[in-house]
Structure 1
């Protein structure tokens, strides 16, 4: 088994993040999912079927976060699920968890960047989508290189603005909600297949909240701060997700929204009229939510690359820290290059599905790690323990597997690409490790 290289030469990240900033990073990681992406689920499930998809996924995330918090508080490591799986399951388990996490966090930012480009194009047709999306990487890689303390402050501001905007949005559209609109144009019967097909897009409401684990080495007093940050953020996100999805579907003909990358301003246009200036204003402010998620996901993917490289799972140069700002600059740049390639595909829905598949594989590995560690290391210091153990982690594990099977069944080509990439990269890793000995 590969062990972390301890000692004075090991690069160190700065511990500067407090509870409020951690909440902002957790919510910021996810909040773009309330602005776009989920509406693709209506294509496969209708509004009623997708409501069931969302409730199932919400149950998975609530039980998962309350369980995952135990791991993050007990083992505050920038590798997140990778570190927990290595400790519980060994090298192979660690590689699977690390690969899945990389897919999750490397593919979420290009989808968000593409949505940012779409929102900008909605505001001004002269702004091309792809160049605008790519410019986001240049801007936010630069911001993140300047230090985690500055990044956390920026995250706090944009996350608060994006949450307030969604609260105002819900207040504006609530009087226009009609149950008849919500139930109209749905299949006569809600089907299990429809519910399962909507799962990847319901996951988009919450995916990436687990990225908080990747800044665990930069949190002040992680044993106390991490539980407070995680629990407050999941409560915030559940309320916003259910409110946005349900109320948006009841304002007008939801079929007009199900293939857009900017549904929020379109909902306002339905409610207030096509010429309403408020919808344009909200599209402008909506950029804050997308910016918050893009920024926070940039933090997370860079820390995951950094942690994997530090432990020998990726090229060592990716674990280098900037001498002045103590940030993983090569990890930031490498993730940006992957994002550029994904943006050029122009397929937001497929990127979302692939990111979701990586997420549920990582969730399953994490819950398995938690169950194993409770037996393997009963004396491990656990400042926070999963409530109703073992039921919460078991429920999260089972629902993760259900979601994984659903995504694989309805997206077979993408699933083949995912698992083939996992196998090939794992084989390459094993060969290179043997040569290095």
Structure 2
């Protein structure tokens, strides 16, 4: 049983894709920013500030450096094999089929569960906006059962509906997805810039002292605190930038535009995250975010007496998280499409609609599952699963660069990771540090997910793989 059979770059590039190439560099930059800027600024800064204090800005920087080094590795792979599939395809080239399947399985966890998790945060801001204009959704339809102790809830209707709406947009073509994403990203960036301009004047440097009240890593009342644990939390903010590499088959000149899209979007997002966290922890004492855990920006607005900005910020938050959901669902559909094309998932997921030129059926299948997950499941304890799955993919992509530099040094590379082999090694070290900040329950759930994946691989994928059937 050949578990490590590999696909060659030549064989991958021979595939004639039915997907339409329309994306350019700035479309990919906006796609990356759409994936990154959202939950991190509008939700996670509250929990992150309580974990790291004003040092949260360093936590974002650590997470960004991890993603930046990994992003360089993604960029080289994208220039070698500019096709859909992201880390899944790259692992197929470097390590072989079983590892590739496991990474594809992890990416489905990252994108689908990530989109469901963000949809819950989206629902919170959407409900707040409706409340501000006098519209009230019944409490039982605002969250999954058991989400809030003492509050009777059954189903998160807004989360369910937004996922279905975005699924519809993605399913009818990349052009509609691109235009919707670009518009929403532009508006949310404008809201963020407005927030910065209006609040920077209220900074009190005394609020930054002590800058790192819990140090780099410590235990406080049995909970991991400090800059490193906070980096493990806010890493979720950067998840999704790798979806840019999933768009390779729909990108014009992908060997150049994919690396540019990944690196520019990461750079812009990191700068904005650091500026925002410094302003927020400078305007109010970090301990104040305990009362605004899910809507931390509102703490700043109330403190500065700029209530008039609250509605605009809510709109920015809604749009910000909408684009994150959009990019996650887009990445999910392209990963399952690539795996189905290789025979590792049923052909249903790789069926491209002639009218829309998208994997229509697979997009709707995972969109509906994600909508129900956001509507019915309490995702608070599962979000770390997204982090560990993504970090595992980053480790393998980084290791794959080292393997291919050794085994296939003559491959055409439109982009080369600078500083190799040190850069990929540094990327892996950062990933392992962030994985170390996650709790043992997350590891256990991740191992269960991997066990389910191996059951699917040995039960279906191995014998239906194109590499097996084409022998």
Q: TM-score, normalised by structure 1?
A: 0.91
**How many angstroms apart in 2 are the aligned matches of 1:186 and 1:386?**
33
Q: Partner residue of 1:271? A: 304
**How many angstroms apart in 2 are the aligned matches of 1:225 and 1:3?**
24
Relative to structure 1, the CA distance from residue 96 to residue 272 in structure 2 (aligned partners, 3 Å threshold; closer, same or farther) is same
**Which deviates more from structure 2 when the two are superposed, residues 34-43 or residues 419-428?**
34-43
Q: Partner residue of 2:172? A: 146
Q: Partner residue of 2:256? A: 224
Matched, 1:421 2:454: no
For residue 136 of structure 1, the aligned residue among 162, 166, 178 is 162
Runs of 4+ residues over 6 Å off in structure 1: 4-10
**Which deviates more from structure 2 when the two are superposed, residues 365-374 or residues 100-109?**
100-109
Alpha-carbon contact 1:37-1:352 (below 8 Å) kept: no
**How many angstroms apart in 2 are the aligned matches of 1:248 and 1:158?**
23
- How many equivalent pairs are there? 431
For residue 64 of structure 2, the aligned residue among 47, 58, 82 is 58
**How many angstroms apart in 2 are the aligned matches of 1:143 and 1:315?**
24
**Structure 2: gaps (5+ residues):** 143-155, 219-223
Alpha-carbon contact 1:181-1:249 (below 8 Å) kept: yes
Relative to structure 1, the CA distance from residue 55 to residue 218 in structure 2 (aligned partners, 3 Å threshold; closer, same or farther) is same
For residue 459 of structure 2, the aligned residue among 427, 431, 434 is 431
Relative to structure 1, the CA distance from residue 196 to residue 338 in structure 2 (aligned partners, 3 Å threshold; closer, same or farther) is farther
For residue 40 of structure 1, the aligned residue among 21, 25, 47 is 47
Alpha-carbon contact 1:13-1:218 (below 8 Å) kept: yes
Q: Partner residue of 2:151? A: none
Alpha-carbon contact 2:45-2:296 (below 8 Å) kept: no
Relative to structure 1, the CA distance from residue 261 to residue 435 in structure 2 (aligned partners, 3 Å threshold; closer, same or farther) is same
**How many angstroms apart in 1 are the aligned matches of 2:393 and 2:215?**
33
Relative to structure 1, the CA distance from residue 188 to residue 309 in structure 2 (aligned partners, 3 Å threshold; closer, same or farther) is closer
> What is the CA distance between 1:396 and its match in structure 2?
0.5
Alpha-carbon contact 2:13-2:81 (below 8 Å) kept: no
For residue 214 of structure 1, the aligned residue among 246, 258, 283 is 246
Q: Partner residue of 1:205? A: 237
Matched, 1:180 2:206: yes
For residues 137-186 of structure 1, the C-alpha deviation after alignment (integer angstroms, 9 at most, x for no partner) is 12111111111012112111111111121121111111112222233697
Relative to structure 1, the CA distance from residue 219 to residue 241 in structure 2 (aligned partners, 3 Å threshold; closer, same or farther) is same
For residues 85-130 of structure 1, the C-alpha deviation after alignment (integer angstroms, 9 at most, x for no partner) is 1110011221222122111111111122111110011112313531
Alpha-carbon RMSD across the aligned residues, in angstroms, is 2.4
> What is the CA distance between 1:255 and its match in structure 2?
3.1
**How many angstroms apart in 2 are the aligned matches of 1:66 and 1:401?**
17
Q: Partner residue of 1:381? A: 412
1:36 aligns to what SS in structure 2?
helix
**How many angstroms apart in 2 are the aligned matches of 1:121 and 1:230?**
33
1:204 aligns to what SS in structure 2?
helix
1:59-98 matched pairs, under 5 angstroms: 59-98=65-104
**How many angstroms apart in 2 are the aligned matches of 1:399 and 1:319?**
34
1:18-417 matched pairs, under 5 angstroms: 18-32=24-38, 33-48=40-55, 50-125=56-131, 126-127=136-137, 128-129=141-142, 130-183=156-209, 187=213, 189-192=215-218, 193-194=224-225, 195-258=227-290, 260-273=293-306, 276-344=307-375, 347-407=378-438, 410=439, 412-417=440-445
For residues 1-59 of structure 1, the C-alpha deviation after alignment (integer angstroms, 9 at most, x for no partner) is 275987999652111101111111111111113222243223433333x3443232222
**How many angstroms apart in 1 are the aligned matches of 2:215 and 2:275?**
24
**How many angstroms apart in 1 are the aligned matches of 2:425 and 2:364?**
37
For residues 329-385 of structure 1, the C-alpha deviation after alignment (integer angstroms, 9 at most, x for no partner) is 222122223323432466454343121111101100100111111111111111111
> What is the CA distance between 1:189 and its match in structure 2?
4.9
**How many angstroms apart in 2 are the aligned matches of 1:284 and 1:231?**
27
Alpha-carbon contact 2:160-2:375 (below 8 Å) kept: no
Alpha-carbon contact 1:265-1:280 (below 8 Å) kept: no
**Structure 1: gaps (5+ residues):** none
